Amino acid sequence: MSDGKVLAGITMSLDGFVTGPADRPGAGLGEGGERLHYWVFGGPWTYEGVRGSADPVDQAYLDEVFSSGGAWIVGRTMHDIVDGWGDDPGFGVPVSVVTHRPHETVVKGDTSFEFVTGGIEDALARAREAAGGKNVVLMGGADLLRQYLDAGLIDEFTLTIAPVLLGGGKRLFDGLERTDIAFERTGVIESPFATHLRFRVSSA
């Protein structure tokens, strides 16, 4: 059985931030950062649960990516800042959580979270095994995505541009020193709330 691809994606503001200032538990995207994900919920939403539905164009993109994935990888900070996505995340696939702090595997409904302390390559090996030949979806956050880019382990990358200005927060590429990474654009998806730029990734 051949391995699937490693897919990664993240949303960025027009001024280059992937979170607003002061991201923290209860406000994982920082101050004003929820505007980055208007495309996910079809407009304004709140962390407390007031959410709509994605525009059909955005929903088709989300469905395509996640239906192709047999396992996900996330960073421990991302996992913790959203409180593990609640009591029943409903992801339906195994999730590898990259961390320096050991933790027993957690199962919530149809989703299992395995906490991997052996680094990004170990997490990818475990995710590939769990995916059973399907794609591995790298969820983030920004620091983890940057590590995988730096290691040349991402096959396809989608940069979603949200038409907002945040004025501060975290930048995706801060600290990434490699300049030999090539991004071959393979598609552009336009919706009322975002532009999804799709790339094939390669490096020397």
Residues 159 and 199: beta-carbon distance below 8 Å? yes
**Which strand (E) or helix (H) includes residue 119?**
none
CATH of domain 6-203: 3.40.430.10
Give the chain's residues under pLDDT 50: 1
pLDDT given for residue 1 in this prediction: 46
- What local confidence, expressed as pLDDT, does residue 73 receive? 98
How far is 161 from 103, CA to CA, in rounded Å? Answer: 35
pLDDT at 2: 58
Close Cβ partners of 159 (under 8 Å, ≥ 6 residues apart): 9, 10, 12, 196, 197, 199
**pTM of the entire structure?**
0.93
Domain ranges of the chain: 6-203
- Token duo for residue 190: 């336009």
